[in-house]
Amino acid sequence: MDDKRIERVLVEVLKRLLPQIGATGERGNVIVVFTGATAGFTEAVQQVRSLVMNGFRVQLVFSRGAEPLYAPLVWEQLEGFPHVVPFDDSRWLRGLKEARAVIAPLLSVNTLSKLSLLIADNLASNLLLHALFTGKPLILARNGVDPTDQGRIELHFDQCGPALASAIWERLEVVRSYGCQVVEVSQLLATLETALQNSVAAKSTGRRNGAAKVVNFSQKVNIVTAADVLRAQQSGTPIRLRDSTVVTPLARELALKHHVSLTAEIGGR
C-alpha cells in the first residue's frame, strides 16, 4: 500500500472515530481567523484540533497574507477532523451572529494595527472588529506579534529597536481596552471556555457581557499613550499636557479619531 492510500485510510478512520470521542460539533460555531503571522504555527493548528475535539464546529478564515502562505498546509493538517469548514463570506454577518466566539490563533502586526485603529478593509479584519461590535468573545494569540516570543526569535524577527517594540505593546494594550482577550496561543481553548462560562453567568444575573466599565483617568500625565486616550474618551475627559509631556503617535491618531482634546496647561503646570 502506497503512502497516499495509507493517508486516505487514516483520514477515514479519523472521520469515524473522532465523533465518538468528543468531536460532535454540538457546542456551536467558532470562527477561527488566520492572518499572516507564522510564530506559533504548530500550536495554532493544535488549538484548532482541540476546539473540534471539545465539541465545537470550526469555520476557517484566511487573510490575504495567510492564504498563500500556509492555508493549504492548515487544511492538510486538519484533514479527517470533522466539523471544520471554510467560512462563508457571502453571509458573513449572519455567520458572525451565529458564532459563539471569534479566535485569531495567528495574529499579524498588520492585522493588529488595523484592529487598533478600527480599520476593517478585508474579511479577516472585518470579522475581528465586528466580533467586538456584536459582543462576541474575541480571543487573540499574541505570539505572532510579540517581539520577545520564542517563535519570532527563531525567525530573527526580534531585532527591532525599543521604539518599534513599544509601538507593538501599545497596540496590544489598545485592543485589550476594546475588549479583546490577548493570550498565549496555547491558552486559546482554555480562554474560550472561561469566556463562555462568564457569558452564561453574566446573562443569568442580567448583566450585559462586555459592557464598558467606568475608568478612573488621571488628567496630568508625563507620557500619553493610546490607552490614556481611550480612557479619556470613555470618561469624556480632556487630556491636559505639560510642557514635558510626550504624546505617542498612535495616541495622537486616536485622539483625533475619537475627538479627545489634548490641551496645554496654562503655564505648563
Q: What is the 3-state secondary structure (H, E, C) of the chain?
A: CCHHHHHHHHHHHHHHHHHHHCCCCCCCEEEEEECCCCCCHHHHHHHHHHHHHCCCEEEEEECCCHHHHHHHHHHHHCCCCCCEEECCHHHHHHHHHHCCEEEEEECCHHHHHHHHCCCCCCHHHHHHHHHHHCCCCEEEECCCCCCCCHHHHHCCCCCCCHHHHHHHHHHHHHHHHHCCEEECHHHHHHHHHHHHHHHHHHHHCCCCCCCCCCCCCCCEEEEECHHHHHHHHHHCCCEEEEEEEEECHHHHHHHHHCCCCEEECHHHC
Give the pLDDT confidence score for residue 5 in this predicted structure.
63
Over residues 60-84, the mean pLDDT reads: 95
pLDDT at residue 61 in the model: 98
Q: Which residue has the higher pLDDT, 83 or 160?
A: 83
Please list, residue by residue across 227-240, b when 16 or more beta carbons sit within 10 angstroms of its beta carbon and e when fewer do. bbbbbbbbeebebb
pLDDT at 14: 65
Mean pLDDT across the chain, nearest whole number?
A: 85
CA pair distance 89, 60, nearest whole angstrom: 11
Under the banding of pLDDT at 50, 70 and 90, the label for residue 159 is confident
Whose grid coordinates read 516570543? 149
Examine the pLDDT at 220 and tell me if it is beyond 90.
no
Instruction: Show contacts of 18-22: CB within 8 Å, 24+ apart.
Output: 18/52, 18/53, 18/80, 18/81, 18/82, 19/82, 21/53, 22/53, 22/54, 22/55
Query: pLDDT-based confidence at 3, cuts 50/70/90?
Result: low
Judge contact between 37 and 103, C-beta under 8 A. no
**Least confident stretch, 7-11, 17-21, 77-81:** 7-11
pLDDT at 135: 95
252 CB-side CA count, 13 A: 6
Above 70 in pLDDT, residue 205?
A: no
Q: What is residue 137's predicted lDDT score, i.e. its pLDDT?
A: 97
Domains and CATH numbers, the chain: 3-204 (3.40.50.1950), 220-268 (no CATH)
Task: Please tell me the least confidently modeled range out of 11-25, 129-143, 201-215.
Answer: 201-215
Mean per-residue pLDDT for 118-129? 96
Beta bridge partners of 262: 239
C-alpha cell at 37: 503571522
pLDDT tens, residue by residue, 104-117: 999 999 999 999 99
Whether 231 has a pLDDT exceeding 70, the answer reads yes
The contacts of residue 253 (CB under 8 Å, 6+ apart) are 117
Q: What is the mean pLDDT of residues 129-156?
A: 93
Q: Is the pTM of this model over 0.85?
A: no
- What are the Cα distances from residue 258, in Å, to 85, 211, 230, 234? 38, 19, 8, 10
The whole-number pLDDT of residue 15 equals 63
Per-residue pLDDT band at 11 (split at 50, 70, 90):
low
37-47 tens-digit pLDDT: 999 999 999 99
Per-residue model confidence (pLDDT) at position 9: 52
Lowest mean pLDDT among 39-53, 73-87, 146-160: 146-160
Model confidence at 265, in pLDDT bands (50, 70, 90)?
low
